[in-house]
Amino acid sequence: MAHSPEGYPAYVMTRRFRVRGEHAPATVGFKRTGLDVYFADGEILHYDLAGRLLRIARPNVQWRRGLSGRMLELRRRRRDELGGLARRLLDNAEADRRISGAAGRMERLAVGGGPSDARRDDAPLVEGRSLVDVLQSAARFGARSAAQDAARFRAIYHDVPILPPDQYGSLVVAATEGCRYNECTFCSFYRDTAYRAKTPDEFRHHVRAAMDYHGPGLTLRRGVFLGQANALAGPRGWREEIVRIVQEFCAFPPAEQTRFAPDWWQGSTRRFTGITSFLDVLAGVRITSDEFAALRALQLRQVYIGMESGAVPLLRWLRKPGHPRQLVDTVRAAKAAGIAVGVIVLVGAGGERFFEDHVHSTIEILCAMSLAAGDYVYLSPLVASEGGDYAAIAAADDIESLTPARLAEQTQQIRHGLRAARGERGPYVARYEVGHFVY
């Protein structure tokens, strides 16, 4: 067997099952957040505790299934292809074949071989779910069941187009729809969605529906992400009431507690580590340090800001409003209140024309924010969709796009500039591939 999970500390139990029609058994790892099934040919299937297929993994390739029904193939490139991951969105027919294939294997596993200790495997272990419960749910999760589940998801969420990378495992609850500004040339996530803030009653109904939908799958969700793009943009009273509504449904550690063992939240459908959200500072949102402190007391732990660049000419060209110095003031106010910050930088924006100004001004603004350990800087390569605003304006202005080598060079220059200024006391810096996301 290519992978053997026996002894992995994350698993509550592991079991070997015969698989009808296959020469070797499969090993099942049951954990407080989901189920992993390891087959002898190297394929691994990942499910949540509701039995929803989340991921299929094989050597050098994986297929991620989002709750919305989108399935993404990520294949490891060879060294002569500059490494990294090649991304491909599957069409519905291919996605259905992958889902049906996984369900067929699970059905043969569940039917074809009995567990070594049936009484123990039938016993509820996590939130009333037993190993057998999840195995049977996974075997029933074929293409038709997946489509029905995705339709239910879309009725509640419509879509979750983007999250910060460290929040991919969060429970998303949408206090707003769309983006209040929605005119940046590089962003098409909310082009077809009118901005609207939900009333407290609407939001309460939404949170209840979202948690009912996730069900046992909530054990996989570590934090609560308040969406969509501008969830903190409303008036102070509305903003704080929205956060209080989240607490009607979710349990959090004491606001002053910053460290806790993973098993505090793992395996629970009600416990979460804190609340996080995007914050669009440049589009006109102003939150004072006192307002941040009030939100911190209500479990807001981190905000994520789309800085894009510290270069004013580039921001103007991208149709991003405001001035980077506003970001510095907002970040310092958040950090003074004990709220961590994630700052997103758009690498490759403006091509060769803006290259040098983008690098130097971005480093200057990031360093002025006094970011430290616990904060994030995400370097996100520009993704310009064909026919989109950015591509049209870049063509009209004769902007030369960065080659992969120049993109890597710009990324490294920003990294090195931050490291030189902040050293080991600085924020965590990571690449942020928006095209690799499905929720």
330-429-342 Cα angle (round to 5):
25
Domain count, the chain: 2
- Mean pLDDT for 77-105 is 89
In this predicted structure, the answer to whether residue 204 has a pLDDT above a threshold of 70 is: yes
17 plus 127 within the same structural domain: yes
Kind of pairing, strands 44-47 and 34-38? antiparallel
End-to-end CA distance of the chain: 30
Q: State how far the Cα of 188 lies from the Cα of 331, in Å rounded to an integer.
A: 26
Rounded Cα gap, residues 84 and 435, in angstroms? 13
Residue 284 has what pLDDT?
66
Confirm whether 4 is domain-assigned: no
Say what the pTM is: 0.93
In sequence order, what are the residues at sequence separation of 6 or more whose Cβ sits closer than 8 angstroms to the Cβ of residue 371?
A: 331, 335, 341, 343, 377, 422, 426, 427
In a domain, 262, yes or no: yes
- Reported in sequence order, the residue ranges of 316-375 that DSSP labels E, i.e. its strands, are 340-347
User: Contact at 8 Å (CB) between 364 and 327?
Assistant: no
> Residue ranges of the alpha helices (H) in 15-127?
92-112, 118-121
Give tens-digit pLDDT for 213-241: 999 999 999 999 999 988 998 899 999 99
The residue from 148, 177, 210 where one domain ends is 148
Residues ≥6 apart with Cβ < 8 Å to 421: 363, 367
pLDDT digits (tens, 9 = 90+) for 327-364: 999 999 999 999 999 999 999 999 999 999 999 999 99
Is 245 a member of any domain? yes
CB 55 within 8 A of CB 70: no
Structural domain boundaries, residue 192 = 159-436
Query: Two tokens at 78?
Result: 């060879």
Read off the CATH number of the domain in which 328 is found.
3.80.30.20
With a cut of 90, say whether residue 260 has pLDDT above it. Answer: no
Are both 171 and 113 inside the same structural domain?
no
| C-alpha distance from residue 300 to each of 120, 165, 196, 243 (Å) | 40, 18, 22, 8
CA distances in angstroms from 142 to 99, 108, 147, 212, 277, listed in the order given? 6, 13, 9, 21, 34
